[in-house]
Structure 1
Amino acid sequence: MSTIENRETEQSPAGQGVADERAERTLVAARAHRSRESRLRTRDLVLSIAAPIVLVLLWEVCARLLIIDPRFFPPPTTILMALGEMALDGELWQHTGPTLLRLLVGGGLGALSGIVVGLLMGSSRALNAAFGPLFSALYPLPKIAIFPILLMIFGPTELPKIIAVFITTFFVMQIATVSGVWAIDRQLLEAGTAYGATGFARFRFVVLPGAMPFVFSGLKTATGTAVVVVTAVEFTGASTTGLGYLIWNSWQLFIPEKLYVGLLVIGIIGAALTTLLSRSEKLLLPWRRSA
């Protein structure tokens, strides 16, 4: 009887008015939420742009007023002038090109191999039992410490540098991918099996999409680590090109402007690669765009 009475109340003019009022309040709340989110995004954008500008201006003023020693902290304008001169005479590209090549080739191959091995190990208990302890033992080894061994084997060529970056990204991606496979909700796997997703179909439609968030998180971590490793191996005498060599050589010759140019370009490369990965994640994983 109460259900019938509620329906009659809703169908009455008074009940219709209450329903309309509730709908109006819902719309108003939704508009307020969207407006607040828009304001927050605008505020975050302004802060992300303003904070670095303020810090750079503060650095410029302090260096000009000799509050900090300009011999060690040259003004940003001086660094930008050095950047422009190096770009015009080709010195900047002479060092940026090799670093990018080592990052993209070594890091790309290492990431791809790590993802494939991680998916196989995460999906196969036998493979994980066979290789899991070995990889766990090898991962903590400092990759820079392995570099002299690579130099002894392959000589002072490009291959040791690429292999060092490859090893770095491989282990990060292997661990991240295995964790992603293991983190998949078992109910999703059971649901996939119930709908006939077995074998490759199960891997394609359940395992791979479920592990991808962890894969992208691993890619971001691997990118930062690879940038550190490639810069470190370029510090050595085995290299006469690369941004790491530029930084080290500028320190030896005490040319701080060029040293900061190398640091700036490395930071730009790292930020650009991370941004590209974030954009790709939103494009390839649309269900995570709201995250």
Structure 2
Amino acid sequence: MPASSLLALRSAMRLPRWRRPGLASWRGLVLPLVLVGLLEVLVRLGWVPAHQLPAPSQIGATLYWQAASGELWGHVGVSLARVAAGFACGAGLAVLIGAWVGLSRRAEAYLEPSFQALRAIPSLAWVPLLLLWLGIDETPKIVLIALGAFFPVYLALLAGIRGVDRKLVEVGQLHGLPAFALTRRILLPAALPNLFTGLRGALSLSWMFLVAAELIAATQGLGYLLSDGRETSRPDLVLAAIVLLALLGKLSDGLLKHLESRALHWRDSYSGGEA
């Protein structure tokens, strides 16, 4: 075994049991489990009306029967496809335009004021216009999600490029790097931490915009389940859809966080203390 692995193992063994890395990953489950248990007890005792806030066991039963009938997987699959398509379109376009604006003061002068104005428009304000322009099929839903994903990535990448140390750029210029090589080898790698921060924020907004898109003119998806639960006075169905949105959002963010750690493995950054 390498010496570094032995040192890491010895350090882990010296830690108290509750601070060891294997147990630290489970700490995030403590608060949700406590809240679920507390809510179950309050509903069972009748202190919280079940017709307004069902017990977690009832929500779990609703999820089970929806999954057993096969209906749930259709809703989840449709929502996942919409988020993936909208996020890919919005984030990809944001990377291209953000890099262009970040590298060109002239492009910034032309585009930045308009983008700042468009960023202030609420998501629901786009819905009537998109329905008028694009109809009620999949296109307006994906465009709305792409709008939500665009601005966090654009702003983060722009800030990352503009925040690159000027000395690094000067070193590249002294070595005779052309503009494309300077961008590829210095500016974009240095802006990667900001870019991943923007991507994670954009992915979170994509799930939020998904609900806005599916609440209107949709016959499938988790947003449709929310609307169906509201119209049929089934709070268990509404909360089941919310739980699924939270789980899918957490899983997709975890995947993106893993990709971030792989892409930024060279970074020696502060990871926080145990306080």
Using the size of structure 2 for normalisation, the TM-score is: 0.89
Matching of residues 183-222 of structure 1 within 5 Å: 183-222=163-202
CA distance in 2, matches of 1:108, 1:278: 16
Among candidates 157, 165, 170, match of residue 137 of structure 2: 157
Residue type matched to 1:263 in 2?
Answer: I
* Correspondence for 1:80: 60
Identity of aligned residues (%): 33
Structure with the higher helix share, 1 or 2: 1
C-alpha displacement of 1:170: 1.3
Residue type matched to 1:192 in 2?
Answer: G
Among candidates 90, 94, 97, match of residue 110 of structure 1: 90
Among candidates 257, 261, 279, match of residue 258 of structure 2: 279
Among candidates 247, 250, 253, match of residue 268 of structure 1: 247
Name the SS for the 1:70 alignment partner.
Answer: coil
Aligned length: 262
C-alpha displacement of 1:190: 1.3
Quick check: 1:128 aligned with 2:108?
yes
CA distance in 2, matches of 1:69, 1:289: 51
C-alpha displacement of 1:283: 0.1
Residue type matched to 1:280 in 2?
Answer: L
Among candidates 115, 125, 128, match of residue 145 of structure 1: 125
CA distance in 2, matches of 1:158, 1:79: 29
Query: Unpaired runs of 5+ in structure 1?
Result: 1-26
Among candidates 69, 92, 100, match of residue 89 of structure 1: 69
Using the size of structure 1 for normalisation, the TM-score is: 0.84
C-alpha displacement of 1:198: 2.5
Deviating above 6 A after TM superposition, structure 1's stretches of 4 or more consecutive aligned residues are none
CA distance in 2, matches of 1:216, 1:289: 16
C-alpha displacement of 1:194: 2.3
Name the SS for the 2:25 alignment partner.
Answer: helix
* Correspondence for 2:161: 181
Rate the CA distance shift 1:165–1:46 in 2: closer, same or farther, 3 A.
closer
CA distance in 1, matches of 2:17, 2:178: 42
CA distance in 1, matches of 2:109, 2:98: 13
Q: CA RMSD in A?
A: 2.2
C-alpha displacement of 1:289: 6.1
For residues 222-246 of structure 1, what are the alpha-carbon distances to aligned partners after superposition, in whole Å with 9 as ceiling and x for unaligned? Answer: 111111111012112x111110110
CA distance in 2, matches of 1:44, 1:205: 36
Task: Answer whether contact 2:145 2:213 (CA < 8 A) is retained.
Answer: no
* Correspondence for 2:4: none
Quick check: 1:252 aligned with 2:231?
yes
* Correspondence for 1:23: none
Quick check: 1:240 aligned with 2:219?
yes
Among candidates 45, 51, 57, match of residue 25 of structure 2: 45
Rate the CA distance shift 1:38–1:75 in 2: closer, same or farther, 3 A.
closer
CA distance in 1, matches of 2:192, 2:33: 35
Residue type matched to 2:234 in 1?
Answer: I
* Correspondence for 1:57: 37
* Correspondence for 2:146: 166
